[in-house]
A and B are shown apart, each in its own frame.
Chain A
Amino acid sequence: MPASPACLGRAGAVPRLDGVMRDADLSILVIDENAIRAQIIEEGLRAAGHVRVSVVREIQGVARTIERVSPDVIVIDLENPNRDMLESMFLLSRSVQRPIAMFVDRSDRAAIEAAVEAGVSAYVVDGLKQERVKPILDMAISRFNAFSRMARELEEARTELENRKTVDRAKAILMKSRGLSEEAAYRLLRTTAMNQNRKIADIAQSLVMAAGLLEG
């Protein structure tokens, strides 16, 4: 096997004639353990006119899927622990005959950095022209970013809700033990937080924990 930097695997590149295939005809395989993100990416690809999109959640049996759908592009979460397994299939598997390289044009460092930053990794059939794959990669990157943003917002909302619940419990404790009104209890929490340069939620958390200890 020649140690060619541009290709992996045993077989030679499948020659393709530019313009013979429309971009919409590219076969794209999305591998993602996260069902929601996989769906977001699939929708994006379909909205962009791609009809040959396959999605798998589990790496188990992926060699058969690759054989069946013969993907031109594989998009996978950079953090997926099974990427080593996937790459070994490209290297030596008897079932995956096609040479697959990552990113069409290695000189496009900015594109590669953006993909790594977003957590996307893509494998592309060697010899495919960059202008045909770039929109797919860009779409995957923006969808990955959108998903991360969504997940972050969800986490923030969850924390916010948790905090509000804790503050409510702390207020109730103060109202009961010190005979304060709800407003006075909140003012006390806020003043304490300001004096100690901490967040109200943190003060509330300490109070709830201390009350739990005293009760127990």
Chain B
Amino acid sequence: MSEDADIRVGFVPLLDSAILVSAVVKGFAREEGLVVALRREPSWSSIRDRLAVGALDAAHILAPMPIAANLGLFPLSPSLIAPFAMGLGGNAVTVSNGVAHELEQAGAVETLDAGVVGRALKAVVVARRGRGLPALRFGVVYSFSGHNFELRFWLAACGIDPDRDVEIVVLPPPQMPAALADGQIDGFCAGEPWNTAAVRWGAGRLATVKARIWRSSPEKVLGVSRPWAEDNPAALDAFVRALYRAALWCADKGNHAELARILAAPRFLDVDPQLLMTGLTGAMEVAPGRIITVDDFFLTAAKAATFPWQSHALWFYSQMVRWGYCSHSPHNTLIARDSYRPDLYRRALRGLGAPLPGANLKVEGALLAPTPVGAANSSLVLGPDGFFDGHIFDPDRIDDYIREQMAARVPDVRGG
């Protein structure tokens, strides 16, 4: 079992564990000569602790986690690196039927458009406050998650202060639909299949999706224990190659039904495979029976979906500073940037003919259309990668970005 494994890898049962799971189940790791022990984990805290004590060598983890770990923000902080990304996109914001109705009355038809829905949500928040109703409560899966930061980014850009005007709580993703149905929360931002599950079970409707808040944006990465990576460079390279080939397999539409069946098995997600097809195809069920196809809902290979852009790491860092999770300093900026390791991605994939971006960072949100970019080996098309509010993030100007966002914090209308 795991004693004989070359690499012990943890995962949380979510759709975006697809690349990791298929790398093992479809034999890509074996073809690289690796024995992989997969371990399903009940929480991100548990994955982190096992990485910290060396009970796991690597894991499918939330993209901000290696940064938070290296900045020492956890109760127990392992030293982690991210040499590979587990795809782009994949999340959605789901609201209760009651809130969906209020959004409709405030002018948001079911479009998933982050700007339109966000403006309506602002009106709902103001109206509820006027009627003396409690603030809306949103669930996210973890503090250091893309979910928390994209929800906060979206709310703030729509004039809703995420700390003052709403309440954000942490819940395990599988508990979200029931919590929404029970009225414990009014909405949530989580990965698939839990948005689709909430809609199918009649608990709520989709408000918007990650791909409409920030297109082609980062979500999970392969987090690797830094000491393990340093001691096992050959195994790490082989594992990254296996993951890359699995990512290509996952991206092939002809494999989606099989992939859904694999992931649905009891030892992985243990759900109905039909719940997984929406996220894989991007044909999102926004309300029972109503489908909207979202381009780029979840990408596993196209647009350099597995490349660990350091500009992604720096954007997460900027949001951690923005919301008070850590202080900003040149030292912390470097720690955040170097948590992502595009050099190791290139080292592993050089011989594979994979398109390898020449840059480590890019200006996020600058591409409004698919754009060919410079890459070694073969052609690479990136974008569109826009933020819904039209702003861009230039990692070379991160100080200005942080300053402007902090200054733009919505003044408290209640004077408190």
Contacts and interface: CB of A to CB of B under 8 A. Distances in A.
B170 A85 contact: yes
Interface string A137-168: 00000000000000000000000000000000
A121 B49 contact: yes
19 contacts: A1-B324, A1-B326, A79-B46, A80-B42, A80-B43, A81-B175, A82-B43, A84-B45, A84-B172, A85-B172, A88-B169, A91-B143, A92-B324, A103-B76, A109-B53, A112-B52, A113-B54, A113-B55, A117-B55
B239 interface: no
Interface string B354-389: 000000000000000000000000000000000000
A91 B45 CA distance: 13
Interface stretch (B67-75, B252-260, B262-270): B67-75
A83 B76 contact: no
A82 B169 CA distance: 12
Contacts of B77: 5
A169 to B, nearest CB: 28
B106 interface: no
A101 B175 CA distance: 26
A23 interface: no
Which residue, B45, B54, B141, B174, has most C-beta atoms of chain A within 10 A? B45
Given A83-B46, A84-B44, A91-B143, A4 B72 contact: yes
Interface string B73-92: 11111000000000000000
B325 interface: yes
B327 interface: yes
B73 A8 contact: yes
B172 A92 contact: no
A79 B73 contact: no
B50 interface: yes
Given A1-B326, A2-B327, A109-B53, A84 B76 contact: no
A90 interface: yes
A78 B56 CA distance: 15
B42 A87 contact: no
A144 B322 CA distance: 40
Contacts of A123: 75
A116 B43 contact: no
B75 A87 contact: yes
Contact of A102 (B72, B76, B169): B76
A72 B293 CA distance: 51
Nearest to B140: A88
The 7 closest A-B pairs by CB, nearest first: A5-B72, A102-B75, A88-B170, A83-B45, A3-B326, A81-B42, A81-B172
Contacts of B141: 84
Contacts of B143: 84, 87-88, 91-92
Nearest to B145: A84
Secondary structure dominating the interface of A: mixed
Contacts of A4: 72
A101 B74 CA distance: 8
Nearest to B332: A3
A100 B44 CA distance: 18
Contact of A3 (B42, B52, B71, B172): B71
A22 B12 CA distance: 41
Nearest to A91: B143
Nearest to A63: B169
A106 interface: yes
Contacts of A109: 53
Contacts of A103: 75-76
B170 A84 contact: yes
Which residue, B53, B73, B77, B170, has most C-beta atoms of chain A within 10 A? B170
Contacts of A2: 327
Contacts of B72: 3-5
B369 to A, nearest CB: 38
Interface string B170-201: 11101100000000000000000000000000
Contact of B327 (A1, A91, A100): A1
Interface in B121-173: 141-143, 169-172
A85 B142 CA distance: 7
Given A1-B326, A3-B332, A82 B75 contact: no
Nearest to A60: B184
A113 B172 contact: no
Interface in A1-53: 1-5, 8
A113 B53 contact: yes
Given A102-B76, A112-B52, A88 B327 contact: no
A80 B327 CA distance: 30
Contact of B46 (A78, A85, A100): A78
Which residue, B49, B141, B326, has most C-beta atoms of chain A within 10 A? B49
